[in-house]
Amino acid sequence: MAAHCGANNFTIVSQGEEAIGTDTITQQNQATDSTTSRNGRSSSTDSPATTQQSTRTATAWRIHYQCGGAGAPPPAQSPPPQPGY
């Protein structure tokens, strides 16, 4: 702010978290379950997959400011007009 407006020449208008987009997270879990018959002649495998998806609003801290605020010297006054000849 000081680099843009000059030292002590800005006023903070507002600040806080602002929405900047969304984040989506997808998580997939897979488990394998194997079973064998009592006589051992047949077996089966089951691999169910569970998918979970979550979306949230992504935020960032933002500061809005205005140049020419606190501590700024008053603008230079124009000299009075000179009388014409």
Q: How far apart are CA 66 and CA 17, in angstroms?
A: 18
Give tens-digit pLDDT for 10-20: 999 999 999 99
Instruction: Give the pLDDT confidence score for residue 35 in this predicted structure.
Output: 81
Residue 28 predicted with pLDDT over 80: yes
Count CA atoms closer than 13 A to 76's CA, side-chain side: 2
> How much is the pLDDT for 72?
45
Maximum pairwise Cα distance, the chain: 124
Token pair, residue 11, equals 């006023």
Provide the 3-class DSSP secondary structure of residue 48: coil
Instruction: Give the percent of the chain with pLDDT over 70.
Output: 82
Q: What would the pLDDT profile of 49-83 be if each residue is shown by its tens digit?
A: 889 999 999 999 999 999 985 544 555 566 667 77
